[in-house]
Amino acid sequence: MSATTSREVRLRARPRGLPTLDDFEIAETPMPEPREGEALVRTIYMSVDPYMRGRMTGVRSYVAPFEVGEPLSGGAVGQVVESRAPELAPGDLVLSQLGWREFAAAPARALERIDPGPAPLAAHLGILGMPGFTAWYGMREIGRPRSGETVFVSAASGAVGSLAGQLATRWGARVLGSVGTEDKAAHVRDELGFDGAFCYRTTPPREALAALAPDGIDVYFDNVGGEHLEAALHHLRDFGRIVACGMISRYNDAAPAPGPSNLFLVVTRRLLLQGFIITDHWGRRGEFLAEVAPLVARGELRWRETVAEGIEAAPGALLKLFAGKNLGKMLVRLAPDPTR
């Protein structure tokens, strides 16, 4: 180790509405020093996820808010550079919540050693990581598509939506997706194997679904909320299920926006709307990996990554997520990937 300093991204101000680069600052710190039982880790990839917007607001929720003046945190893959913990050795690859900083010292229990195996290292933050697990759990436990049913996934080219749709396809459902550009629609259809896709900026979801699913939909995997949710309610068939995973269209609202005007359909059509947070279900992670990792290894699932370079790019990467400038999992690479 020759570097004597590290850099981290701190929250400078709590945004109202859409965050701007001014809400973040890059700060230089002395190189962290691991104490007994800790390791010094260099971040290779850090994850940028929509849920982080909620943490920028100072509201207590299922995950602690980011604090002004403090470094942000989030999923990351890193490499141990120095260890004072017997279970870790320099060179080990680890998964942690130590994103948004170049180096961090952390207790061994906060570092999960990973074997990248046949999957690329970055996949541990995407299809095999929290977003993939989220897609699998929500579709398997809440959506529960049966063979022949029609499934609609919003943000279908994103890290969660792309796996949610591919899994539903594998389980025998007809799968439709909405995305924000025509290019993404082509990707979802041609590469991910969805049965149909549309760009919600050119065709309103309610119209698009009328054309793509004239007999209605059975499952809606909601990553978006707002107009998408209202359209899905309109088209859901009796006993349909809504997987309430995220509502990215709402995250930057400065004031509360009205909900769907047709929510009473939940009663007349006997719908289920179920929210979930994947960290509640960590005990099921082995089951997820047992099903999905072999499919990844065999090349039977596809995914994309949009990778920004360097810690200076991290705040912008988060903003790009809300502008839909990513395709697939949004990552920032803070150091060279030693496995590539």
* Of residues 84 and 237, the one with the C-beta less far from its own copies: 237
Radius of gyration of the chain (CA): 20
Closest distance between its own copies and the C-beta of residue 189, in Å?
28
Instruction: Please report whether residue 273 would count as binding its own copies according to CB under 8 A.
Output: yes
| Per-residue binding letters, 52-71, with its own copies (x by CB under 8 A) | --x------xx---------
Identify the CA nearest to 121 among candidates 307, 282, 295, 278. Answer: 307
Q: What is the 3-state secondary structure (H, E, C) of 43-105?
A: EEEEECCCCHHHHHCCCCCCCCCCCECCECCECEEEEEEEECCCCCCCCCEEEECECCECEEE
Applying CB under 8 A, the span of 72-80, 205-213, 260-268, 324-332 interacting with its own copies comes to 260-268
Looking only at the bridges linking them, the beta strands covering 150-154 and 196-199 are: unpaired
Applying CB under 8 A, the span of 28-36, 200-208, 270-278, 294-302 interacting with its own copies comes to 270-278
Instruction: Please report whether residue 323 would count as binding its own copies according to CB under 8 A.
Output: no
Closest distance between its own copies and the C-beta of residue 183, in Å?
28
Token pair 């005990």: residue: 283
Instruction: Please report whether residue 225 would count as binding its own copies according to CB under 8 A.
Output: yes
* Of residues 20 and 279, the one with the C-beta less far from its own copies: 279
Looking only at the bridges linking them, the beta strands covering 93-96 and 112-113 are: antiparallel
Closest distance between its own copies and the C-beta of residue 31, in Å?
37
Instruction: Please report whether residue 155 would count as binding its own copies according to CB under 8 A.
Output: no
Cα–Cα dist 119/102, whole Å = 23
Amino acid letter at 96? S
Instruction: Please report whether residue 18 would count as binding its own copies according to CB under 8 A.
Output: no
The residues in 227-246 that bind its own copies, with binding defined as CB under 8 A, are 229, 238, 244-246
Cα–Cα dist 200/123, whole Å = 28
Binding footprint of its own copies on the chain (CB under 8 A): 54, 61-62, 225, 229, 238, 244-247, 250, 256-277, 280
